Amino acid sequence: MATYNPAQSQAAEGPKTALSRRATRPYVNPYMGAILLGIVLFLSFFITGNGLGASGGMNRIIVYFEDLVAPTHIDRTPYLLEMAGGDKNALDSWVVFVGIGVVVGGAISGWANGRLKFVTDRGPNIPVRLRWVMAFVGGALMGYGARMARGCTSGQALSGGATLSVGSWVFMIAVFASAYALAYFVRKLWN
């Protein structure tokens, strides 16, 4: 059975699809990543009082377009009303700008490190199309669950974890417990 190996998967990506001629650099050591991410998270709290977030920004982008199409529907749904009711602009929130920043920052870093390429990362035994379907299904579940939990891995687990919120710690355990419980049954997807 083929096993995942970071070095291999990097090499497997053909240079033809790369948008920059930069040499692909290896990822940083996880502990270094942890320190850097911890500092970014701290600075966010320190300067603004808010933590990080991703799904919140995506939520508001969706609601913004919904408001363009069906404003009366927004005004009749309390959950949506809070974000875009009346003449409120759903995009007028800090979390949207963090979300845009994540995309920009990811792109810059990907470019600078030679990792900006059209590629579908997948396990060795799964067809590309199935990987796409699974990505969409997984994304839909993630999106739904993240809104139910009032935050995703960034907004709940990281931010709430660092500020020692009980709910966020329980949430984090739930995410990992459920992923680990299911991992064996879907091992074909990744191994």
Among residue numbers 97 through 156, which ones bind another protein (CB under 8 A)? 97-110, 113, 115-123, 131-156
Q: Is 90 in the site for another protein (CB under 8 A)?
A: no
In the complex with another protein, the residue whose CB is nearer, 23 or 166, is 166
Q: Is 61 in the site for another protein (CB under 8 A)?
A: yes
Q: Smallest gap, in angstroms, from Cβ of residue 7 to another protein?
A: 11
- Tokens 């020692």 label which residue? 164
d(C-alpha 149, C-alpha 138), whole Å: 16
Q: Is 1 in the site for another protein (CB under 8 A)?
A: no
Integer distance in angstroms from the first to the last C-alpha of the chain? 7
Q: Looking at 11, 125, 187, 188, which residue binds another protein (CB under 8 A)?
A: 187
Tokens for 36, please give them: 């850097």
Q: Smallest gap, in angstroms, from Cβ of residue 4 to another protein?
A: 5
Residues within window 30-49 making contact with another protein, judged by CB under 8 A: 30-31, 33-49
The alpha carbons of the chain give a radius of gyration, in whole angstroms, of 19
Question: How many residues belong to the site for another protein (CB under 8 A)?
Answer: 129
Are 149 and 137 spatial neighbours (Cβ–Cβ below 8 Å)?
no
Q: Which residues partner with 117 through β-bridges?
A: 18
Q: Smallest gap, in angstroms, from Cβ of residue 168 to another protein?
A: 5
Are 120 and 129 spatial neighbours (Cβ–Cβ below 8 Å)?
no
